[in-house]
Amino acid sequence: MTSCPLLTSASTKCEPMNPAAPVTRIFNLLSPLFETWRYSTRMQEVLYLSFDSLQEGVGASQVLAYVRKIVATCPVTVISFEKVMPDKNLVWEVQNYGVKWIPLSFGRYGMIGGIFRVTRMWSHIDRSKIIHARGNLSGVAALLRFPKKWVWDCRSLQADQRRALSVEKRITASFILLRVAEYFLARRSTSIIVITHAVIPIFVARYKISAKKMHVISTCVDTVRFAKKPFTKTINIKVLLAGTFSPAYDIKMINQIIAEMKRYRTVRVTVATASGATDAWHDLDYDEILTVRHADMPMLIQRHDVGMSIWKNDLGVCLTSVASTKTAEFLACGRPVVINSLQGDFGPLFKINKAGVVTETSAIEDIRRYVTELFEILDDATTPHRCRLLAEQYFNLDEGIGRILDVYRQD
């Protein structure tokens, strides 16, 4: 009889070995090593700098949405400036997402206040982390810390935009200061994120940098929260005008289009203002005004038929860097938008996908053409599908986060 090598003196017979037992034992031995490897290979911590409040506007719609996704891949700390300091419950709510939040008081307005904000943000920066600086002033705070790796998230050509919106459009000391800051941000940052393709040639020519350093990640929308909804079949057309209504908006053309629409159909116009909105909305031809939280925007958009985001086409080069957040939100909900032709990359995309009307001049024959095109789009039952498809292809938050993480991973 063949002896059993595992048979003890107390054994009376040889039991067959479980074939899975060695695999189980190996797995149990290697599991702690695997967990150690998994955490050691997790991406380096990101420090996200934002001058925008997380409680309102683009801070709520963009920054908070981004970091909630990013934290699934790497640890994230956010520094933001808050006009109203959040209570403990709100801070805990953000931290429950896994995000460490350092809210700083906004402080004084004006240039002096801006300098103090840059200084305070600078004092909180840990240069050993991956720094994601959203906007110019956040970028300056990062630049002065000389971090090992940092990303300048350029949201606009700020110097050019301020000059274009000024009354005299002169080259002032503040314009020169902002342009000098842009030069050093463009030259010294590890990578640059821009929100349009149209602005890349401007940067390459102006600051003599390689286009390979620049990454286009357009304004993004959470396509789960902003869900598509078919048109509600009514005889009325419900127009929603939402945002802060900066002086860049062409209020005159918006009113011309609304007036032409009312010649043929019943039109109801709702204005939805956000915190920080200017008084420009007073000049709009509207029926109702609301103040809404960003959390309520998906439902509000779905209750309307069309949005408008028409900037003045004579603002010059700064228009190449524009991609409004609310436009992406309307598209995700399946709603067309009326936009101006020179706004970033929107013009060609909207024309190809028939996702809205693209305006050029305010000549009366053009206004009539815009309205005719808009009626055709609103009468087309497939319009919500085309708008949604455009949002998913070009403005999808998940796709944008993937590209941001790719930027972080670059040497």
Which pTM was predicted? 0.85
Out of 55-69, 91-105, 128-142, 318-332, least confident range: 55-69
Task: Supply the DSSP symbol for 311.
Answer: B
pLDDT attached to residue 26: 60
User: Residue 234: pLDDT above 90?
Assistant: no
404: helix, coil or strand?
helix
Let me know if residue 127 belongs to a domain: yes
Instruction: Clarify whether residues 273 and 380 are in a common domain.
Output: yes
**Of 343, 276, 337, the residue nearest 315 (C-alpha):** 343
Q: Is residue 10 predicted with pLDDT exceeding 70?
A: no
**What is the average pLDDT across 135-147?**
95
309 and 390 in a single domain? The answer is yes
Same domain? 67 vs 216: yes
> Is residue 48 within a helix (H) or strand (E), and if so which, with residue range?
strand 46-50
52-62 tens-digit pLDDT: 999 887 888 88
Residue-wise pLDDT tens digits, 342-377: 999 999 999 999 999 999 999 999 999 999 999 999
- Judge if 196 and 122 occupy the same domain: yes
Nearest to 248 by CA among 178, 172, 162, 320: 162
Between helix 346-353 and helix 383-394 the angle, nearest 10°, is 140
Task: Give the mean pLDDT of the chain.
Answer: 88
Q: What's the CA dihedral at 366, 369, 373, 374 to 10 degrees?
A: 70
Query: Within 10 Å of residue 265's Cβ, how many Cβ atoms?
Result: 12
Please check whether residue 329 lies inside any domain of the structure.
yes
- The answer to whether residue 308 is domain-embedded is yes
CB crowding 75-89: b at 16 or more within 10 Å, else e = bbbbbbbbeeebeee
Residue-number span of the structural domain to which 173 is assigned: 46-220+397-409
Using the 8-state DSSP alphabet, how is residue 215 labeled? E
Tell me: do 216 and 296 sit in the same domain.
no
Q: Is the pLDDT of residue 177 over 50?
A: yes
User: Residue 334: which of 286, 298, 309 has the closest Cα?
Assistant: 298
Rg (CA), the chain: 27
| 38 domain-assigned | no
2 in a domain, yes or no? no
**Is residue 140 domain-shared with residue 200, that is, in the same domain?**
yes
Tell whether the model's pLDDT for residue 86 goes beyond 60: yes
Q: Are residues 376 and 404 in the same domain?
A: no
Based on the domain organization, do 55 and 201 belong to the same domain? Answer: yes
pLDDT in tens, 196-213: 999 999 999 999 999 999
Q: Say if 131 falls within a structural domain.
A: yes
Confidence class for position 9, pLDDT limits 50, 70, 90: very low
CATH code of the domain containing 176: 3.40.50.2000
Do 64 and 196 belong to one domain?
yes
The answer to whether residues 405 and 307 belong to one domain is: no
pLDDT reading at 37 higher than 50: no
Are 81 and 198 in the same domain? Answer: yes
What is the DSSP-derived secondary structure letter of residue 273?
Answer: E
Structural domains of the chain, count = 2
Residue 286 within a domain: yes
33 vs 252: which has the higher pLDDT: 252
Q: Are 59 and 50 in contact (CB under 8 A)?
A: yes
User: Higher-confidence residue: 109 or 125?
Assistant: 125
Q: Identify whether 228 is part of a domain.
A: no
Asked if 242 and 389 sit in the same domain, the reply is yes
How would residue 77 be classed by pLDDT, with cut points 50, 70 and 90?
Answer: very high
**Confidence band, pLDDT 50/70/90 cuts, at residue 42:** low
pLDDT digits (tens, 9 = 90+) for 263-315: 999 999 999 987 655 677 788 989 999 988 888 999 999 999 999 999 999 99
Q: What are phi and psi of 243, to 5 degrees?
A: 135, -165
